[in-house]
Amino acid sequence: MQCSCTSYGRSTSTADNRTITTRQADGRYIVHFPFTHDQPPIGESYHLAHTRLIHLESRLSKSTDHRQDYNGAMQDYLDSGHMSYVKNTEGIDNTSFYIPHHGVVKSGSTTTKLRVVYDASALSSNGKSLNDYLFIGPKLQQDLPGIILRFRLHAVVFTTNIKQMFRHIVVTPKHRPYQRLLFRFQPSDPVQTYEMSTVTFGQRSSPFLAIRTLHQLAEDEAKAYPNVQKVIYQDLYVDDVVTGADSEEEALKLQQEVIKVFERGKFELQKWSSNAPALLEAVPIKHRKTDNFTFDEPQSDYTNVLGLNWEPNLDMLSYPYRPNPVRFTKRAILSEIARIYDPIGLLTPVITNLKRLMKYLWSIGVGWDERIPDDAIDAWTRYHEELPLIGSIRMRRRSTTPGATYEVHGFCDSSENAYAAAVYLFSARTKWHQSLPTVNGKV
Residues 50 and 189 in one domain: yes
Query: Is 69 within the bounds of a domain?
Result: yes
Buried b (16+ CB within 10 A) or exposed e, 399-422: bbeeeeeeeeeeeeeeeeebebeb
Residues 180 and 237 in one domain: no
Buried b (16+ CB within 10 A) or exposed e, 136-175: ebbebebeeeebbbbbbebbbbbbbbbbbbbbbbbbeeee
Query: Is 160 within the bounds of a domain?
Result: no
Query: Is 426 within the bounds of a domain?
Result: no
Say how far apart CA 425 and CA 408 lie, in whole Å: 5
Residues 344 and 297 in one domain: no
Please give the tally of structural domains in the chain.
3
Residues 281 and 192 in one domain: no
Query: Is 423 within the bounds of a domain?
Result: no
Residues 182 and 82 in one domain: yes
Say how far apart CA 31 and CA 33 lie, in whole Å: 7
Please report the pLDDT score of residue 406 as a whole number: 86
The residues facing 158 across adjacent strands are 243, 274
Query: Is 135 within the bounds of a domain?
Result: yes
Please report the pLDDT score of residue 203 as a whole number: 93
Residues 170 and 221 in one domain: no
Say how far apart CA 216 and CA 222 lie, in whole Å: 10
Are the C-beta atoms of residues 214 and 232 closer than 8 Å to each other? yes
Query: Is 413 within the bounds of a domain?
Result: no
Query: Is 441 within the bounds of a domain?
Result: no
Please report the pLDDT score of residue 265 as a whole number: 96
Say how far apart CA 25 and CA 288 lie, in whole Å: 30
Residues 239 and 366 in one domain: no
Q: Where are the alpha helices (DSSP H) in 61-205?
A: 64-79, 144-151
Are the C-beta atoms of residues 182 and 98 closer than 8 Å to each other? yes
Q: Which of 5, 18, 113 is nearest to 68 (CA)?
A: 113
Helix (H) or strand (E) holding 127: none
Say how far apart CA 312 and CA 153 lie, in whole Å: 15
CATH code for the domain of 26: 3.10.10.10
Positions in the chain short of pLDDT 70? 1-21, 88-94, 107-112, 290-302, 429-443
pLDDT in tens, 302-324: 677 788 889 998 999 998 888 88
Query: Is 107 within the bounds of a domain?
Result: yes
In order of 61, 82, 120, 247, 436, the CA distances from 179 in angstroms are 25, 11, 9, 46, 52
Residues 98 and 192 in one domain: yes
Which amino acid belongs to residue 373? P
Show the domain range for 52: 21-139+165-204
Please report the pLDDT score of residue 333 as a whole number: 94
Residues 303 and 251 in one domain: yes
In order of 278, 401, 408, 426, the CA distances from 436 in angstroms are 30, 11, 10, 5
Residues 348 and 240 in one domain: no
pLDDT in tens, 70-98: 999 999 999 999 999 998 665 455 689 99
Say how far apart CA 209 and CA 213 lie, in whole Å: 6
Residues 44 and 181 in one domain: yes
Are the C-beta atoms of residues 344 and 437 closer than 8 Å to each other? no
Residues 185 and 217 in one domain: no
Decide which of 281, 313, 345 is a domain's last residue. 313
Please report the pLDDT score of residue 341 as a whole number: 87
